[in-house]
Amino acid sequence: MILTIPFALLPLKTAVWTGEKLGLVLYRILRGWRILGYENIEKMLPWLRQQPGWDPAYNSPARLTGELFENMGRLVAEISRLYHGIDRGLLETIEFRGMEHFDNASARGKGVLFITAHCGNRELMALSFGAKFKPVAVVAKPMKKQYIDKLLEKMRYRHGNSVIYRDHAVREILTTLKSNGIVGILVDQVAPPPHGVVAQFMGRPAWTTRMPVKVAMKSKAALLPIFIHREGVRNIVTIHPEMELGREGSEDERIQRDTDRLNRYIEEQIIRFPAQWNWFYRRWKGTEGL
């Protein structure tokens, strides 16, 4: 909490620059994170190198890991400002692309499921959408330490937004969608059975939540992939066209195929902006022998 104060007091550009330098310091001192990020990147590089649009400049795990920490520092700076309510400058850096896809989906009146991942400043994405357009209910996993949830809630509840905790999510999600609301869900998290299915992610099996597809099937809400990335000093939010659900096969088969399809959107985002995805966790946990 003490660390957040300087970032809140500094001018925005200076705060973000300072955050970048902080990332370089964290690279040196957070050895466990550095090793985990490096190992994850190294394991996925053979697959990434084969993908169209991959930048060969990132073929070095060391370079990509270094940029990953720099972006983490920038994220710390921005989140610090959001926590203290100093968000006007950050909101002005946001550019929205693909709003027509949201307008078309929302016009149906069945609600919208924003599908996203740990890419870029997702907290800023949710807050900026709530501030400029319509409130978003974000599905979140409760932290082991409840005081962390309280700190995050102080930020997440601004601009009319709200939080739906995952342990009691389905009923609240359906209620929100019934009123043509928006629910945001992070798909790139380990979701063991019975909450998840094994879907392909970057060429490897990974437990993936089945919630978005199952809820969309029940509610008829639109599935809209949405991501945020940084371009210089600007943050770009891109809304993709609605992903229509498959109609062939049993319910379990459709959930499996459509969950796989959602992972393709995340993969494409990672290929384009590899240093802006969170490589610091074991995404493929529990599927090593599959």
- CA 183, 251, 117, 163 dihedral sign is positive
DSSP string, 105-127: HHTTSS-EEEEE-SBS-HHHHHH
The whole-model pTM stands at: 0.93
154: its two tokens: 């102080």
**What per-residue confidence (pLDDT) applies to 20?**
94
Q: What is the pLDDT along the chain (290 residues), one digit of tens a residue?
A: 778 888 989 999 999 999 999 999 999 999 999 999 999 999 999 999 999 999 999 999 999 999 999 999 999 999 999 888 888 889 999 999 999 999 999 999 999 999 999 999 999 999 999 999 999 999 987 766 666 667 777 788 888 899 998 767 889 999 999 999 999 999 999 998 888 999 999 999 999 999 999 999 999 999 999 999 999 889 999 999 999 999 999 999 999 999 999 999 999 999 999 999 999 999 999 887 77
**Bridge partners (DSSP) listed for residue 169:** none
168-175 contacts, C-beta under 8 A, 24 or more apart:
169/139, 169/211, 170/211, 170/215, 172/137, 173/137, 173/139, 173/211, 173/215, 174/215, 174/218, 174/219
Structure tokens at 281: 């966790």
Q: Do you find a cis peptide bond into 194, omega within 30 degrees of 0?
A: yes
Note the pLDDT of residue 115: 97
Torsion of CA 198, 201, 206, 209, to 10 degrees: -70
pLDDT at 65: 96
Question: For 77, phi and psi rounded to 5 degrees?
Answer: -65, -45
The partner residues of 205 in beta bridges, in order of sequence, read 200
